[in-house]
Amino acid sequence: MQVVIIPTAEQVGRVAAAKVAKVVRDKADAVIGVATGSSPLTIYADLARRVDAGELDFSAVRAFALDEYVGLDLAHEQSYHSVIRNEVTERLGLKPALVHVPDGSAADLPRACADYEQLIRDAGGVDIQILGIGANGHIGFNEPTSSFASRTRIKTLAPRTRADNARFFHDDLEQVPTHCLTQGLATILDARRLVLVATGAGKADAVAAMVEGPLSSMCPGTALQLHPDATVIVDEDAASRLILADYYRHTYAHLPAWQRYED
Ligand code: GLP
């Protein structure tokens, strides 16, 4: 795991965007995994800047979202269908037909989950997966005690996650769905590269557990320890509980040229 500590949230987005940009430059029809939540917004903003500047073209890129609420109308402004369309598809210029989100309104949810797994396989797998982390250590919506072998499935949201996400629902907990569909931890680990971003002191405990804690389903983010190409990019506040922070800073400051991806 590569841990990158940089001063501001905006810079976190820029460095993560550089990783995604490299993949898309090298492979015009790359498959990217996209995440919702506030953390990746600076990544999308920086990628949009590159698209607007004519440096990047997402028109042949395929995208798979990590998760979706169950029981929320797809047209609801907080459905992940809507969020991904507004934040990713439209801003980066992806073709809507090439953007996939689990179908949380399907009549047969287990079937929709199995179909989603098949769709990812048919696309040849995900080249780079963007991730955030919940304050309770979840990635996607894989809540604590999620199996490392899990695949796309229905999950019950943890009380902490519903409370954290109430801000997207006018601070009304009642409006936050109770269930979701999410790619499993094994689905996420199948991606060729993982890039996780986290900012702010509220993520410091989760980041420390994910990077330096024991591998445990109590912190699903620790699954990244099993991946051969995982990069965790955090600001100083999110890094504040990392025991080896100085080592990560030193390592990043002295990366050999061949390992650099910032541009
Ligand atoms: C959300 C999403 C996750 C996201 C996490 C953190 O509910 N399902 O993909 O990483 O919770 O969100 P945020 O970045 O807003 O803190």
Its sign, for the CA torsion 221, 87, 6, 2, is positive
Verify whether residue 68 is a known catalytic residue.
no
259 pLDDT more than 80: no
What is the mean predicted confidence (pLDDT) over 226-243?
Answer: 98
Say how far apart CA 95 and CA 89 lie, in whole Å. Answer: 7
For position 84, what pLDDT does the model report? Answer: 98
For position 130, what pLDDT does the model report? Answer: 98
256 pLDDT more than 90: no
- What are the distances in angstroms from CA 163 to CA 85, 147, 158, 190, 243? 24, 23, 9, 30, 29
Say how far apart CA 182 and CA 92 lie, in whole Å. Answer: 23
For position 216, what pLDDT does the model report? Answer: 98
For position 162, what pLDDT does the model report? Answer: 96
Catalytic residue among 87, 100, 127, 136: 136
Closest residue by Cα to atom 10, ligand 1, is 132
Catalytic residue among 46, 103, 117, 143: 143
What is the mean predicted confidence (pLDDT) over 232-237?
Answer: 97
Verify whether residue 246 is a known catalytic residue.
no
What is the mean predicted confidence (pLDDT) over 209-218?
Answer: 98
Verify whether residue 81 is a known catalytic residue.
no
Q: Max CA-CA distance within the chain?
A: 53
Confidence of residue 34 (pLDDT cuts 50, 70, 90): very high
Helix (H), strand (E) at residue 196: strand 194-198
Considering the entire predicted model, what is its pTM?
A: 0.96
Say how far apart CA 51 and CA 126 lie, in whole Å. Answer: 21
Q: Where are the domains of the chain?
A: 2-259
Q: Is the CB of 140 under 6 A from ligand 1?
A: yes
Confidence of residue 258 (pLDDT cuts 50, 70, 90): confident
**CA R_g for the chain:** 17
Q: How many CB atoms lie within 10 A of CB 11?
A: 17
Q: Is the CB of 37 under 6 A from ligand 1?
A: yes
Verify whether residue 67 is a known catalytic residue.
yes
User: What CATH topology corresponds to 2-259?
Assistant: Rossmann fold (3.40.50)
Catalytic residue among 68, 87, 138, 237: 138
Tell me the pLDDT tens digit for each residue of 136-172: 999 999 999 999 999 999 999 999 999 999 999 999 9
- Mutation choice for ligand 1 from 72, 131, 133, CB with most ligand atoms inside 8 A: 133
202 pLDDT more than 70: yes
For position 27, what pLDDT does the model report? Answer: 97
257 pLDDT more than 80: no
Closest residue by Cα to atom 5, ligand 1, is 134
- What are the distances in angstroms from CA 100 to CA 19, 38, 62, 143, 211? 21, 20, 8, 22, 29
What mean pLDDT is reported for the chain? Answer: 96
For position 261, what pLDDT does the model report? Answer: 64
Tell me, in angstroms, the distance from the centre of ligand 1 to residue 254's CA. Answer: 31
